[in-house]
Amino acid sequence: MLSKAQKKKLIEKAVAILPNSYAPYSKYAVGAAVLTANGKIYQGVNIENAAYPSSICAERSAIFNAVSDGERQLVGLAVATRNAGSPCGACRQVMREFGGKDLPVLIVNEQGELVEETNLLELLPRSFGPEDLLS
């Protein structure tokens, strides 16, 4: 469970990174911030490409930043968009890999207003994770 201070910081970081989004095609900026078990916060933005499949979402960008720095366990994620859009399916699966079923997810608008507080179990029911490969 995230503390009030952790939630506030995650939301601030997700909103603060929004201007760095590269979304010339969709015009839909997304900022994300993830908190790791080590207490570090990593940010990411969506980065579009003229070859659409080569784009990356903000949530995965933030997670991959954390993983690239050696982090393997997420304890919270915030995502900010103009209309508080929910993470896509690909992002949900990557969140599951590094955050587990109970990962808290904060969905906010570009003003930083918390629109929905949920968790990955609600966003990705009956998910497939690393432990499923062991059985």
Q: 52-109 pLDDT, tens per residue? A: 999 999 999 999 999 999 999 999 999 999 999 999 999 999 999 999 899 999 999 9
pLDDT of 134: 83
Which domains, from first to last, does the chain contain? 4-133 (3.40.140.10)
Q: Which listed residue (12, 48, 59, 71) is catalytic?
A: 59
pLDDT of 135: 64
CA angle 85, 32, 109 (to 5 degrees): 40
Active site residue 59: yes
Task: Please state, in angstroms and as integers, the Cα–Cα distance from residue 71 to each residue in 60, 63, 64, 96, following that order.
Answer: 14, 9, 9, 14
Residues whose CB falls within 8 Å of the CB of residue 26, separated by 6 or more in sequence, listed in order: 48
Give the chain's mean pLDDT.
Answer: 96
88 close to 61: Cβ distance less than 8 angstroms: no
Q: 4-48 pLDDT, tens per residue? A: 999 999 999 999 999 999 999 999 999 999 999 999 999 999 999
